[in-house]
Structure formats: C-alpha cells, structure tokens
C-alpha cells in the first residue's frame, strides 16, 4: 500500500473498553460495518448523529490511505415494535397505518433517509444491503446455528439457545451483562411458552396468516429475527471476521451482543476485531427518540418549525455542532450551542475562503511553515487519538488566527511564498472538506432569478402530483429539493421556497 499518512490511529474498542492501535487484518483493506436505519419513519437528528460519527470514521480511514469497504444496511423487515421478540413488525405496522404496501413504506423512508444523508454530506457506503434482499443467507445462517446445537425449532419459530451458548462462550461481554442478572431481570415475553429460557431470542419467527411480510423456510412461513440480518450480511460482504463494527450505543444490547453470539454459533469465529459505539444525542438529558416525542426531523431543524427550536439552523451548522463534541460523549441539544456553532463555522469557512483566494507575497519569513508544521502535527495527533474532533477543530481555529493575521485587506498573504501558501490551502481543504465533511453553504433565496424560476417549475409539478393525490411523487419532489438545500414551505398563499 502507499505509505500510511501520519499514523498510527488509535480507537476505543468498546469490547475491551481500551484504546487500541488500529491495525487492519489485511492492510490496506479495511472492512467496516455499521447498523443502518429501520426504514419505517423519518429519521430524526439522533439517528443523524450516529451516521455522522461513522461518516467521520470512514472519511478518516480514507484520508489515512486505507481502502475501505463500508457496508451499512437498511433494515426493512424483522425489527419489531418492542425491540425484542414481541410486537408487530415496525414496517408492517406503518404500512397498515398509512394503507400502503410494506415495500412502499420501505421505499419512501429509504428515499427520505438518503435525502437527509445528502443534506448532511454523509458519504454513501460501498454496499447498502437490505434484510429482505438476503433471506437465503439468513435462512442458511439459522441452519448452521441449529446444526451446531445452538438453535432449536418450536412451533415454526427458531430460537437461539443462550444458556447453552453461554456454557462454552462469553455472552454479555460487550454490554457487560451477566447471565444470572439477565435471568433475574427478564419478564414474561411473547413466545415464552416456546422458549426454553427467557434469555433465548428468535432468529426466525413464524408468521401468522395475516402477517404481511413472510417467506417460506424449512420451518414454515416466517421472517428473520432482527439481529440476524447484520450477522448474515456482514459475513457475506466482509468475511467471518472483519475489522470494525459500529452503531449507536443503544444497540450494544441486545442487538450487537446477539450478533456476536450468532456468528460464533454459526461459524465458530468472533465476527469483529474492533467494536465502536457512538453516543446519544439527548434533549434535556433524555435520549432523542421517536417514542419520547422529543425527536425533530432534519426538515423541522432547517425550517425552525418545532417547539424546541428558537429558529432554523442549516445542516452544516448542525454537522459542525456535532463534530465539536467527541463521538463517545453524549451531546445535549441546545439552541445556544447551535448558535455558537453557527458563528464558529462561519469564522472557519471565511478563513478558508480568504486562504483560497489569497495571493502569496513571495517573501517567506519561514514563520508560517513552522506554524503549519505544528498545526498539522497537532491536528493529526488529535484525529489519531480516537477521532478527537473537538480538539482538532480547536487547532484549526489556531490556524485561522494565523491566516487572518497574514492576509491583508488586498488578499495578499504577507510572509508566504507560493509553496507555503499551497501547503496551507491543501491542509485546510483536506481537513475541513474531506475529513470533517463540511461544505460551503450558499446565500439566501431570491439572489438568482434562474434558480427561482427552476424551483417554481418543481413547485408546480409537486402541486400537480398533489392534485392527483400522488403523495409519494409530491413527497419525493420535496425530498429531492431538500437534498439540494431547497426547503419548500406550504403557506396559505401557496408554496414558497428558501435555501436550507
């Protein structure tokens, strides 16, 4: 491989609870798997935080020179309302409520998710597999688990035998749970009459006749358990053991714990070398969640149309706000912090613009080379120290002070020669745009008549779609415009637009 830029890279492995040097099993290749969204509703800002955390990891690995295969799945079946083995399938429930086919729900919210990811400049993964697209692999995995004695069939469902697994292997290592404590804390759940132990979890569930999403299997018609898809798809695309598995902290138990158990039971190998978990976005100290009613959508955030928001904030302001906090710490939402982030981002972006349009004065005094050497060294050091973005950003601001000192009112960088100026530009562009994934946001609406005309054409098309009751099409148009930073607002006087 081409020489690694400025390593080594250390990450906190949440399995060992230690900061470890990251050494991929087959450099320069890195296998990265991140649990994606369950596409049954609009994503909220908490979800965006987790995907931004792993976007940052992906970007840093690429920047260091690794060739990354990044797999981030779409959960489109099997995630039940109770998050365990009970309740209706989240997607089927939504389909019933919206009177749509489950696959229309999946498509609608997958489109919405992609639009939000583009809005926040989150890079697409290399592979985005769906659970319904991998039924064969999941059924095969259930068979392997049964063959090895860790799964049993009961009345058309198949359960993972946790106590049997725990006789020989560690269960609970990732989440720090102990089998005895889990035993005393379990309550009666659906399927208890079928399960040998309350700790057992479904890897295949029998579908009743009215169930919407079901497939034939050796055990009758049914659907896979939620945890199974990630095990089957990570194995298929990244191998039996791969480098990094990520997800939000709330997925450690039971989801990730069950993933580990399934892989060991099916294939005899621990699946993951480094586990990484992003911490939660909270509102007044409580996790932002759909069920808490404290989750706002990115659209509400941009328009400011939510009781918790004093006004709207741009996606890049929010991205910057998130990056100013270390990914492993909780981040509490606040208007004051967002307003501070907005100011900080403006200062940083202005400096980058100043730098990019500056001309070198030609007479170097060497001071800016030494300053950049220090800044580079510190910035790499912080990023390699478990992606410490708050510290790295503070270092970038030290550089901003230097830039503002050096560039005079005429745009001439005093004390810089061509080569030095080139190095500063390259460093800032790599850190700000490639690594942190920030973007310049454009000016307000109305400054461009051609643009205004174009958006009005789309508004007209959307109105026509709505008139025909084709809400899928009208929502799609709105989401596609939103992805381009154009927010539509429906008012009594008609639809207007503004830039995000």
The interface partner of residue 476, options being Zn ion, ligand AMP, none and the CB cut-off 5 to 8 Å by kind, is: none
Residue reference for tokens 């945890």: 227
Residues recorded for the chain? 500
Shortest distance (Å) from residue 49 CB to ligand AMP: 4
Q: How far apart are CA 271 and CA 269, in angstroms?
A: 6
Q: Which does 264 bind (CB under 5 to 8 A by kind): ligand AMP, Zn ion, none?
A: none
Cβ distance to ligand AMP smaller for residue 160 or 333: 333
Per CB under 6 A, contacts with ligand AMP among 30-59 are 35, 37-38, 46-47, 49-50
Angstrom distance (rounded) from CA 488 to CA 456:
10
Which span (32-40, 290-298, 325-333, 454-462) binds Zn ion, by CB under 5 A?
32-40
Structure tokens at 280: 């939660």
Q: State the binding partner of 261 from Zn ion, ligand AMP, none, CB within 5 to 8 A by kind.
A: none
Q: Which is nearer to ligand AMP, 222 or 247 (CB)?
A: 247
Query: What are φ and ψ of residue 395, in 5° steps?
Result: -65, -40
Smallest gap, in angstroms, from Cβ of residue 255 to ligand AMP?
Answer: 8
Residue 289's binding partner among Zn ion, ligand AMP, none (Cβ under 5 to 8 angstroms by kind) is ligand AMP
Asked if residue 71 binds Zn ion (CB under 5 A), the reply is: no
For residue 175, the minimal CB distance to ligand AMP (Å) is: 13
Using CB under 6 A as the binding rule, whether residue 78 contacts ligand AMP is answered as no
Nearest to 186 by CA among 107, 253, 101, 105: 253
Paired tokens of 81: 């309302």
Minimum distance of ligand AMP from residue 472's CB (angstroms): 21
Q: Is 95 in the site for Zn ion (CB under 5 A)?
A: no
Cβ contacts of 452 within 8 Å, gap of 6 or more = 445, 446
Buried b or exposed e, range 311-326, using 16+ CB within 10 angstroms: ebbbbbbbbbbbbbbb
Site residues for ligand AMP, window 284-313 (CB under 6 A)? 287-289
Stretch that binds Zn ion, among 206-214, 225-233, 290-298, 325-333 (CB under 5 A): 225-233
Given Zn ion, ligand AMP, none, residue 230, with its beta carbon under 5 to 8 Å by kind, binds Zn ion
Contact between 230 and Zn ion by CB under 5 A: the answer reads yes
Residue 37 or 191: the one with the smaller Cβ distance to ligand AMP is: 37
Q: Which residues of 207-222 are buried (b: 16+ CB within 10 A; e: fewer)?
A: beeeebbbbebebeeb
254 makes contact, choosing from Zn ion, ligand AMP, none, with CB < 5 to 8 Å by partner type, with none
User: What is residue 73's DSSP assignment?
Assistant: -
Q: How far is the CB of 89 from ligand AMP (least distance, A)?
A: 13
d(CA 321, CA 347): 14
Please state whether beta strands 157-160 and 286-287 pair in parallel, antiparallel, or not at all (unpaired). Answer: unpaired
Q: Tell me which H or E stretch contains 208.
A: none
Query: C-alpha distances in angstroms, 239 versus 18, 170, 267, 425?
Result: 24, 21, 11, 40
Number of residues located near ligand AMP, criterion CB under 6 A: 16
Q: Find the shortest distance in angstroms from Cβ 247 to ligand AMP.
A: 4
Return d(Cα 379, Cα 398) in angstroms, integer. Answer: 11
Q: Which is nearer to ligand AMP, 46 or 271 (CB)?
A: 46
3-state helix, strand, coil in the chain (%, to 5): 45, 15, 35
Q: Which one, 91 or 371, has the nearer CB to ligand AMP?
A: 91
CA distance 129 to 110: 12
339 Cβ partners below 8 Å, 6+ apart? none
The minimum distance between CB 233 and Zn ion, in angstroms, equals 9
Q: Between 264 and 288, name the residue whose CB sits nearer to ligand AMP.
A: 288
- Residue selected from 131, 230, 251, 413 as contacting ligand AMP according to rule CB under 6 A: 251
CA distances in angstroms from 152 to 84, 105, 205, 265, 461, listed in the order given: 18, 33, 12, 12, 54
| 265 forms part of the interface with ligand AMP (CB under 6 A) | no
83 counts as binding ligand AMP under rule CB under 6 A? no
> Of these partners, Zn ion, ligand AMP, none, which one is at the site of residue 192 (CB under 5 to 8 Å by kind)?
none
Q: How near is the Cβ of 280 to Zn ion at its closest, in Å?
A: 17
Interface with ligand AMP (CB under 6 A): 35, 37-38, 46-47, 49-50, 247-248, 250-251, 280-281, 287-289
Interface with Zn ion (CB under 5 A): 35, 230
């Amino acid at each position: 491989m081409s020489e690694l830029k400025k390593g080594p890279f250390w990450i906190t492995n949440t399995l060992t609870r230690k900061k470890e040097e990251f050494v991929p099993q087959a450099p320069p290749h890195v296998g990265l798997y991140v649990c994606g969204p369950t596409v049954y509703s609009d994503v909220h800002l908490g979800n965006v935080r987790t995907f931004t955390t792993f976007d940052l990891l992906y970007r840093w690995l690429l920047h260091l020179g690794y060739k990354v295969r990044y797999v981030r799945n779409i959960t489109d079946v099997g995630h039940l309302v109770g998050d365990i083995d009970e309740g209706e399938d989240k997607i089927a429930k939504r389909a019933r409520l919206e009177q749509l086919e489950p696959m229309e729900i999946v498509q609608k919210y997958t489109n919405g998710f992609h639009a939000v990811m583009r809005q926040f400049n989150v890079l697409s993964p290399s592979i985005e597999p769906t659970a319904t697209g991998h039924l064969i692999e999941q059924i095969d995995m259930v068979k392997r688990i049964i063959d090895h004695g860790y799964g049993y069939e009961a009345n058309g469902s198949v359960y993972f035998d946790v106590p049997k697994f725990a006789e020989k292997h560690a269960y609970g290592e990732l989440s720090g749970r102990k089998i005895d404590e889990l035993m005393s804390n379990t309550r009666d759940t659906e399927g208890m009459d079928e399960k040998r132990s309350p700790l057992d979890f479904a890897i295949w569930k029998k579908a009743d006749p009215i169930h919407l999403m079901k497939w034939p299997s050796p055990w009758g018609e049914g659907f896979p358990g939620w945890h199974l898809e990630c095990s089957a798809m990570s194995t298929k695309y990244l191998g039996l053991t791969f480098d990094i598995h990520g997800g939000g902290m709330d997925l450690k138990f039971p989801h990730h714990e069950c993933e580990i158990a399934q892989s060991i039971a099916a294939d005899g190998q621990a699946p993951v070398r480094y586990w990484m978990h992003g911490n939660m976005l909270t509102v007044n100290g409580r996790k932002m969640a759909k069920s808490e009613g404290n989750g706002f959508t990115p659209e509400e955030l941009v328009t400011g149309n939510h009781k918790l928001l004093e006004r709207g904030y741009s996606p890049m302001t929010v991205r910057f706000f998130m990056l100013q906090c270390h990914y492993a710490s909780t981040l509490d939402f606040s208007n004051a912090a967002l307003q501070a982030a907005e100011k900080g981002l403006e200062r940083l972006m202005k400096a980058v613009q100043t730098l990019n349009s500056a001309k070198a004065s030609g007479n170097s005094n060497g001071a800016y080379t030494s300053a950049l050497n220090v800044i580079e060294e510190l910035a790499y050091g912080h990023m390699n120290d478990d992606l410490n973005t708050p510290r790295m950003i503070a270092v970038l601001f030290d550089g901003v002070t230097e830039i503002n000192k050096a560039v005079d009112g005429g745009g001439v960088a005093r004390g810089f020669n061509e080569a030095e100026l080139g190095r500063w530009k390259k460093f800032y562009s790599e850190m700000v745009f490639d690594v942190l994934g920030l973007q310049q946001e454009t000016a307000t609406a109305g400054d461009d008549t051609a643009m205004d005309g174009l958006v009005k054409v789309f508004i007209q098309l959307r109105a026509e779609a709505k008139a025909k009751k084709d809400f899928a099409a009208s929502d799609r148009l709105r989401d596609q415009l939103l992805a381009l930073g154009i927010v539509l607002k429906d008012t009594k006087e008609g639809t207007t637009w503004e830039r995000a």
